[in-house]
Structure 1
Amino acid sequence: MLQTHKDSLWKQFGASIDMLINAVSAYPENLWYTEKKFFYISYHVAVFLDYYLTIPAGPPASPLPFTLTEDIPEDAIDDIIPDRIYSQDEILSYLQASRKKCHDLLFNMTENDFTQSWVEVEGNKVMPVFELFLYNMRHVQHHAAQLNMLLRKDTGDAPRWVRAAK
């Protein structure tokens, strides 16, 4: 893959992660533990950002442990339920680590690496690694938009658009 393609992909993927980090950072700490929908979305996207950056694929894992359950709490968005409500700082540290992981992975990949198939261990996703980067970026963008919508609803404000990652 051409270096200019890697640079462009990073600028946009990194900007998506930056917008996510900005949204999580902007949420008032006094609402973090009471308005749980924001937390659950933040946790979900942090776990899956990391998961989709695991090449080759492995089972879902996180430094902020979770339980898989069919008994999904009302505000949760999937069956990956955090073992507790993690602090904003814990979520932000996880997102920063995944941002670095994304950057380093992207810039250390060869053209051949991008064409290899990523095969989900316990699911049905199979796609070229390059497409996985795009899929992951879209997932981050989707949830960053949800968080910004919740921020506007709960606080009347949200962080600004990030044009490109530095």
Structure 2
Amino acid sequence: MIQTIKEGLWKQFGGSIDMVTNAVSAYPESLWNTEKKFFYMSYHVAIFLDYYLTIPAGPLSSPLPFTLSETIPADGIDDIVPDRIYSQKEILDYLQASRKKCHDHILGMTEADFAQQWVEVEGNKVMTVFELFLYNMRHVQHHAAQLNMMLRKDTGDAPRWVRAAR
């Protein structure tokens, strides 16, 4: 039964990551540096996808550096401010690295691994690793929908729904 759960969880989580990747890939490069809300959201989802795949929990960090701010920047969505506008390729590479990390984590988990507690180092989140995967997947899918909505607004089109990871 555990193998069925792992495979199903991966297919759906991977599909969510694929939807974000498709949205970032579809965004016109000509708008990337001017319509910063799309960039900020892409960066945010990439950072937190990776963060919530850090098992056991560790400090918030990223290969694409950021600064923590007391205030939300005008175009930002939280207190994480990227040190610069990273390219689409940098965001896509980060998403792909996290996709592999997610895949390897899920398929390598045992029932005991899923049941262990994940305790956020600097925050107040405490949940099982299994719930953490669901929480992370919901977060990724939430932002995939927002990115697709922005794509439709800015270009008139957006990538299609992904049923399961490819």
TM-score range, shorter chain: over 0.9
Q: Cα distance, 1:71 vs. partner?
A: 3.3
Q: Look up the match of 1:38.
A: 38
Q: Look up the match of 1:92.
A: 92
Written as runs of structure 1 = structure 2, the 5 A alignment for 1:145-164 is 145-164=145-164
Poorly superposed stretches of 4+, deviation over 4 Å: none
Q: Look up the match of 2:56.
A: 56
Distance (whole Å) between structure 1 residues aligned to residue 11 and residue 55 of structure 2: 21
Q: Look up the match of 1:72.
A: 72
TM-score by length of structure 2 reads 0.99
User: Aligned to 2:49, what secondary structure does the other structure show?
Assistant: helix
Written as runs of structure 1 = structure 2, the 5 A alignment for 1:92-111 is 92-111=92-111
Q: Look up the match of 1:115.
A: 115
Q: Cα distance, 1:73 vs. partner?
A: 1.4
| Count of residues in correspondence between the two structures | 166
Ranges in structure 1 where 5+ consecutive residues have no aligned partner: none
Q: Partner amino acid for 1:15?
A: G
Q: Partner amino acid for 2:20?
A: L
Distance (whole Å) between structure 1 residues aligned to residue 93 and residue 102 of structure 2: 14
Distance (whole Å) between structure 2 residues aligned to residue 73 and residue 81 of structure 1: 7
Superposed CA RMSD: 0.7
> Which deviations, in whole Å up to 9, do the C-alpha atoms of 1:23-79 show, x marking residues without a partner?
000000000000000000000000000000000000100000000011321110000
Q: Partner amino acid for 2:40?
A: Y
Q: Look up the match of 2:139.
A: 139
Q: Cα distance, 1:142 vs. partner?
A: 0.2
Distance (whole Å) between structure 2 residues aligned to residue 136 and residue 112 of structure 1: 19
User: Aligned to 1:61, what secondary structure does the other structure show?
Assistant: coil
Q: Partner amino acid for 1:155?
A: T
TM-score by length of structure 1 reads 0.99
Distance (whole Å) between structure 2 residues aligned to residue 26 and residue 63 of structure 1: 23
Q: Percent of aligned pairs with the same residue? A: 82
Ranges in structure 2 where 5+ consecutive residues have no aligned partner: none
Distance (whole Å) between structure 1 residues aligned to residue 139 and residue 116 of structure 2: 21
Q: Cα distance, 1:109 vs. partner?
A: 1.0
> Which deviations, in whole Å up to 9, do the C-alpha atoms of 1:131-166 show, x marking residues without a partner?
000000000000000000000000000000111112
